[in-house]
Amino acid sequence: MPRYRKQPRQLKELVDEFIQDYPHRVALKRGMILALWPEVIGEAIREQVRDMKFHGSRLVLHVPDPSWRHEIHMQRRAIASRLNAAVKEEIIRDIMIKT
């Protein structure tokens, strides 16, 4: 790809292109998921999750309340789908909930 173009490009297009070519793209997108978590998930679930981390393509959540653990478990596919949509790539393949 040529470095110089005569036509100006939007900053969003340039950032998206950079992220696609970035060698640590998956790690960057995992960080984006952790940062976007509060606004994508909502307040009720966010307040119940005490810790979260990645193990490969699996997002592990620590939820001390067993009833909330069950509720989040039932919604795990929808949660993964919303988070993946937010970063425009399938980063989360599964969500594991621990008490």
Asked if the structure places residue 1 within a domain, the reply is no
CATH number of the domain that 74 lies in? 3.30.300
Task: For residues 54 and 87, give the distance between their C-alpha atoms in angstroms, rounded to a whole number.
Answer: 15
Domain holding 81, by residue range, is 11-98
Asked if the structure places residue 6 within a domain, the reply is no
Using a cut of 0.85, tell me whether the model's pTM lies above it: no
Structure tokens at 81: 């789908």
- DSSP lists the bridge partners of residue 51 as 62
Structure tokens at 38: 């509060």
Asked if the structure places residue 25 within a domain, the reply is yes
Asked if the structure places residue 57 within a domain, the reply is yes
Chain segment 11-30, per-residue pLDDT in tens:
988 888 887 787 788 888 99
Asked if the structure places residue 81 within a domain, the reply is yes
Number of separate domains in the chain: 1
Residue with tokens 């939820």: 63
Q: What is the pLDDT of residue 23?
A: 78
pLDDT of 1 strictly over 60: no
Q: What is the pLDDT of residue 25?
A: 83
- Please say whether the beta carbons of 58 and 93 come within 8 A: yes
Task: For residues 96 and 32, give the distance between their C-alpha atoms in angstroms, rounded to a whole number.
Answer: 19
Asked if the structure places residue 2 within a domain, the reply is no
Cβ neighbours around 32 below 10 Å, total:
17
Asked if the structure places residue 3 within a domain, the reply is no
